[in-house]
A = this chain, B = another copy of it.
Amino acid sequence: LISPKSRASEIMQLGFPGFDNLRTFEDFVLSYDRKNRTAHWVVEHLTPDRMVYDKSVDRGKCAFRPDDSVHDYFRSKNEDYKGSGYDRGHLAAAGNHRRTQIAVDQTFLLSNMAPQVGRGFNRDKWNDLEKRVRGLARKHPNVFICTGPLYLPRMEPDGSMYVKYKVIGKTHVSVPTHFFKVMLMEVDGGKYDMEAYVLPNQAIPNETPLASFQVPIASIERAAGFLIFDQLPKNKLRLVNGQKAGSLW
Q: Which residues of A contact B (CB under 8 A)?
A: 18-21, 33-36, 71, 73-74, 151, 153, 160-168, 172, 174, 218, 221-227
In contact, B221 and A73 (Cβ under 8 angstroms): yes
State in angstroms the CA–CA spacing of A18 and B19 once bound together: 10
Question: What are 9 A-B interface contacts by the 8 Å CB criterion?
Answer: A19-B19, A19-B20, A35-B225, A35-B226, A73-B227, A153-B172, A161-B166, A162-B165, A172-B222
Give chain A's interface secondary structure class: mixed
Question: Measured between alpha carbons, how far is A74 from B33 in the docked complex, in Å?
Answer: 17
- CA A105 to CA B36, docked complex, whole Å: 33
The one of B35, B163, B223, B227 that contacts A164, using a Cβ cutoff of 8 Å: B163
Min CB–CB distance A208 → chain B (angstroms) = 27
Complex copy number for this chain:
2
Inter-chain CA distance A24–B227, complex, in Å, is 22
- A172 / chain B contacts, CB cutoff of 8 Å: 153, 161, 222-223
How far is A54 from B119 in the complex, measured between Cα atoms in Å? Answer: 65
Q: In the complex, are the beta carbons of A164 and B161 less than 8 A apart?
A: no
A33 to B19, CA, bound (A): 12
- Known contacts A33-B225, A35-B224; is-contact A162 B166 (Cβ 8 Å): yes
Nearest-Cβ distance from residue A170 to partner chain B, whole angstroms: 10
Q: Is the CB of A167 within 8 A of B162?
A: yes
Partner of A225, one of B36, B166, B226, B227: B36
- Contact at B167–A161, with CB atoms within 8 Å? yes
Name the contact of A218 in the complex, choosing from B21, B73, B222, B224 (C-beta under 8 A): B73
Q: Cα distance A210–B94 when bound, in Å?
A: 51
Residues of the B chain whose Cβ atoms lie less than 8 Å from the Cβ of A21: 18
Bound together, the chains give a CA A21 to CA B165 distance in angstroms of: 25
How many whole Å from A171's CB to the nearest CB in chain B? 8
Given that A19-B19, A225-B36 are contacting pairs, would A160 and B153 also be in contact in the complex, using a CB cutoff of 8 Å? no
CA distance A160 to B71 in the complex (A): 25
With A and B bound together, what is the CA distance between A221 and B171 in angstroms? Answer: 12
Bound-state CA distance A153–B173 (Å) is 11
Tell me the minimal C-beta distance from A132 to chain B in angstroms.
27
> A167: which B residues are within 8 A, CB to CB?
153, 161-163
